[in-house]
Amino acid sequence: MNHPLRTINSIEQPPEVYLCTIGDVFAIFDTQDSGNISYGVAVNGERYFVKSAGRPNDTQPYLTHAQ
């Protein structure tokens, strides 16, 4: 059985868009000092934590290095 998170190597759309098409995004963690964005997503009755490198068009971290 193909699983939409375990068997995919790349996606063509932003992570949030893809995750919404395969399951229920129940949490978004988008204020990380690294600029990474993570998601809590439920797929087929199981919950997953999915971490992305952030939004490609936003290259600025949430906090400066000193902060």
pTM here is 0.74
Domain borders along the chain are 1-55
Q: What pLDDT sits at residue 27?
A: 96
Q: How far is CA 63 from CA 33, 36, 66, in A?
A: 5, 11, 8
DSSP string for 3-59: -TTTS----SS-HHHHHHHHSEEEEEE---TT--EEEEEEETTEEEEEEE---TT--
Tens digit of pLDDT for each residue in 1-58? 688 888 888 888 888 999 999 999 999 998 876 778 899 999 999 999 998 876 666 6
Q: What pLDDT sits at residue 36?
A: 83
Radius of gyration over alpha carbons of the chain, in Å?
13
